[in-house]
């Protein structure tokens, strides 16, 4: 791979107030770009000032959604250094998404280097307040100027950076979720296991209906029988029922979350019984009615671990235990965030420092 060229902006932007960042609203001074052409491979890796793209209206991504993305974060430690959490996992997953969507493969190590180089150039954009981070969004779009349906021969790979606020300004806060029994997100054989934009477009309607009823997230069921639990909007879901952690197995329709994988590794390490298997709504409701559901939480890069306080299904509301934050949920959140922000030694080889 060629060396990454760096063109610095002549007019750095004014930084936003790090105490009121929110999520995904501000973008840093630079972005990483790299092109692809069939027969030539990936070429011209470069860091350039952040700014608009110029694309033909016929660009394939606009018509057939040949697009994939990733999401990870850079964290500033108390001593001011910057670090990434398992970035190679994101680019390995991006390659699996790419394979499914006929997008060319990337070199995982090169992508990690590109991410490090970009974050290093925009290091001042990594916020330093408690629980804030720099959200990193790599994505690939199909750029052939043609409206015939086929895989594109040209692509653009891009990474942008967004300083993001603390997800829980008032401390871990339980969310209410609603089981969707009409729309489905994914089916086996489809694209559920990929991070592709199309999956999200198809899920917006259920999200809006949930929000109108006061629920912050949709809990998806399997696309065939609408019987088995799959995952939440942009999080994987876990239950602690009668002492055992249960989470849906990865069978093609569920997104293989890196937070999910990390939490399961910790759960195993702590010796807590764990089952990755199918969990039906009926089994969950029976356990809820028997008072055996001790904790429910979602996992994802943005929120890390998100306690669930209430689940709604077919108009009925079910409170989880006392509706507060479960003990294990809190412990998992504390463990993962301590490693991510460098408050605890990284004993699992999950941290990649940015050369400071």
Ligand X SMILES: *Cc1c(COP(=O)(O)O)cnc(C)c1O
Residue 307 in tokens: 């306690």
Q: How far is the CB of 141 from ligand X (least distance, A)?
A: 17
Nearer CB in complex with ligand X: 254/325: 254
Nearer CB in complex with ligand X: 138/257: 257
Contact 59, 65 (CB under 8 A): no
Q: How far is the CB of 348 from ligand X (least distance, A)?
A: 16
Contact 240, 288 (CB under 8 A): no
Taking contact as CB under 6 A, which single stretch among the options 45-53, 125-133, 171-179, 252-260 is the one that binds ligand X? 252-260
Which x/- pattern, by CB under 6 A, does the window 259-298 give for ligand X? xx--------------------------------------
**DSSP-assigned letter for residue 27:** -
Q: How far is the CB of 126 from ligand X (least distance, A)?
A: 19
Exposure b/e, 293-332, CB count within 10 A at least 16 = b: bbbbbbbbbbbbbbbbbbbbbeeeeeebbeebbbebbbeb
CA 47 to chain centre: 23
Residues 194-213 that bind ligand X (CB under 6 A): 195
Q: How far is the CB of 335 from ligand X (least distance, A)?
A: 15
Residues 210-249 that bind ligand X (CB under 6 A): 231, 234-236
Contact 83, 352 (CB under 8 A): yes
Check binding of 299 to ligand X (CB under 6 A): yes
Check binding of 71 to ligand X (CB under 6 A): yes
Beta strands in 154-291 (DSSP E): 154-164, 175-179, 217-221, 229-232, 236-241, 244-247, 274-276
> Applying CB under 6 A, which of residues 87, 207, 257, 326 lies at the interface with ligand X?
257
Nearer CB in complex with ligand X: 117/186: 186
Exposure b/e, 203-225, CB count within 10 A at least 16 = b: beebbeebeeeebbbbbbbbbee
- Whole-number Å distance between alpha carbons of 82 and 254: 31
> Applying CB under 6 A, which of residues 163, 165, 223, 300 lies at the interface with ligand X?
300
Query: 137, 319, 328: which is closest to 234 by C-alpha?
Result: 137
> Applying CB under 6 A, which of residues 301, 306, 329, 340 lies at the interface with ligand X?
301
Q: How far is the CB of 139 from ligand X (least distance, A)?
A: 13
Q: What are the CA-CA distances from residue 301 to residues 159, 238, 258 (Å)?
A: 17, 15, 8
Check binding of 132 to ligand X (CB under 6 A): no
Check binding of 133 to ligand X (CB under 6 A): no
Nearer CB in complex with ligand X: 163/300: 300
Nearer CB in complex with ligand X: 140/234: 234
Nearer CB in complex with ligand X: 150/268: 268
Contact 36, 42 (CB under 8 A): yes
Check binding of 258 to ligand X (CB under 6 A): yes
Binding site for ligand X (CB under 6 A): 71, 195, 231, 234-236, 255, 257-260, 299-301
């Amino acid at each position: 791979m060629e060396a990454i060229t760096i063109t610095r902006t002549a007019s750095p932007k004014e930084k936003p107030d790090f105490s009121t960042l929110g999520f995904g609203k501000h973008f840093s001074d630079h972005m990483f770009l790299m092109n692809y052409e069939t027969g030539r491979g990936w070429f011209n890796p470069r860091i350039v000032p952040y700014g608009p793209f110029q694309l033909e209206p016929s660009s394939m991504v606009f018509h057939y959604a040949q697009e994939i993305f990733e999401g990870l974060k850079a964290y500033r430690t108390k001593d001011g250094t910057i670090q990434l959490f398992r970035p190679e996992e994101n680019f390995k997953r991006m390659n699996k998404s790419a394979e499914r969507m006929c997008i060319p493969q990337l070199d995982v190590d090169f992508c990690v280097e590109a991410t490090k180089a970009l974050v290093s150039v925009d290091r001042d954009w990594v916020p330093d307040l408690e629980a804030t981070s720099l959200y990193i969004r790599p994505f690939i779009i199909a750029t052939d100027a043609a409206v015939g349906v086929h895989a594109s021969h040209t692509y653009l790979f891009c990474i942008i950076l967004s300083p993001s606020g603390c997800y829980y300004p008032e401390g871990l806060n339980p969310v209410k979720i609603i089981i969707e029994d009409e729309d489905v997100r994914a089916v086996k054989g489809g694209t559920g296991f990929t991070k592709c934009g199309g999956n999200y477009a198809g899920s917006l309607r259920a999200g809006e209906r949930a929000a109108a009823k006061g629920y912050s997230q949709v809990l998806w069921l399997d696309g065939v029988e609408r019987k088995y639990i799959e995952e939440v909007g942009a999080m994987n879901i876990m239950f602690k029922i009668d002492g055992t952690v249960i989470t849906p197995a990865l069978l093609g329709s569920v997104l293989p979350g890196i937070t999910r994988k990390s939490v399961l590794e910790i759960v195993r390490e702590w010796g807590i019984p764990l089952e990755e298997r199918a969990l039906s709504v009926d089994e969950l409701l029976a356990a809820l009615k028997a008072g055996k559901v001790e904790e429910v939480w979602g996992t994802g890069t943005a929120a890390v671990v998100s306690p669930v306080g209430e689940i709604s299904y077919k108009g009925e509301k079910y409170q989880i235990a006392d509706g507060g934050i479960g003990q294990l949920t809190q412990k998992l959140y504390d463990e993962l965030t301590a490693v991510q922000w460098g408050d605890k030694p990284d004993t699992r080889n999950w941290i990649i420092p940015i050369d400071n």
